[in-house]
Amino acid sequence: LAKTTQPISMDSYEGQEVNITCSHNNIATNDYITWYQQFPSQGPRFIIQGYKTKVTNEVASLFIPADRKSSTLSLPRVSLSDTAVYYCLVGVGTNAGKSTFGDGTTLTVKP
Amino acid sequence: EPEVTQTPSHQVTQMGQEVILRCVPISNHLYFYWYRQILGQKVEFLVSFYNNEISEKSEIFDDQFSVERPDGSNFTLKIRSTKLEDSAMYFCASSEVRLAGNTGELFFGEGSRLTVL
């Protein structure tokens, strides 16, 4: 299972775009990249998933370069409610869940 | 939207007591997981379960732990003799199993907070 590395923390202000990068140098050919959000005392929640290039949904975008050794989660116009821990996981199928989440990135959005 | 539900939301127990945490995965999901998160720490994988048997477990999941799918809907985690260090949030998750294109998205419950005194 590919190990992931993310910044421990980031600060932002309301209305700004936030980009969180995750390194996964040992990503396997079939692996997908999935990002989760976790609020205190709640379970992680799926945000977005991708395999290559760019994926966009109603809450975020995910940018994956051609070598797939990193990925960037982009949150447009963050609000105070986006303050949370963000995790990236790498894997495929049932292997995707068989790993301890990394340290994650604690995003703090300030008014 | 379908969701994973967990009970109890909070359990307080005495050291040495047995605890059973319950989970109802999403109905068409066949792969189940338990994780734990000690306060302020990472979400740690404990065990995965498929086709009525454990498919993988971490080194945390020792003989004190067991999992079971007693019926068609529940998925339980049992801790036989709780220790102080078992105090944590325990999360259940489920995912689909598809023959192809199985990307492994996990759906988590809200967790059960276990406090061992």
pLDDT in tens, A30-67: 888 889 999 988 999 999 999 999 999 999 999 999 99
Residues of chain B with Cβ-Cβ distance to A30 below 8 Å are: none
Cβ neighbours of residue B59 under 8 Å, at least 6 residues apart? none
- Chains A, B: CB contacts within 8 A come to 78
A34 close to B (CB below 8 A): yes
Task: State residue A82's pLDDT score.
Answer: 96
Return the closest-CA partner of residue B26 out of B88, B79, B97: B97
Residues of chain B where predicted confidence (pLDDT) is lower than 70: 97-104
Task: State residue B14's pLDDT score.
Answer: 97
Task: State residue B52's pLDDT score.
Answer: 87
Compute the distance between CA of residue B58 and CA of residue A66 in angstroms, rounded to an integer: 33
Are B104 and A95 inside 8 Å of each other by CB?
yes
A5 close to B (CB below 8 A): no
Are B103 and A38 inside 8 Å of each other by CB?
no
Are A104 and B42 inside 8 Å of each other by CB?
yes
Cβ-contact B8, B113 below 8 angstroms: no
- Give the residue with greater pLDDT, A18 vs A28: A18
Q: How confident is the model at residue A1 (pLDDT cuts 50, 70, 90)?
A: low
Task: State residue A31's pLDDT score.
Answer: 84
Task: State residue B105's pLDDT score.
Answer: 80
DSSP states of A24-88: -TT--TT-EEEEEEE-TTS--EEEEEESSEEEE-SS-EEEE-TT-SEEEEEESS--GGG-EEEEE
Task: State residue B56's pLDDT score.
Answer: 86
Task: State residue A93's pLDDT score.
Answer: 62
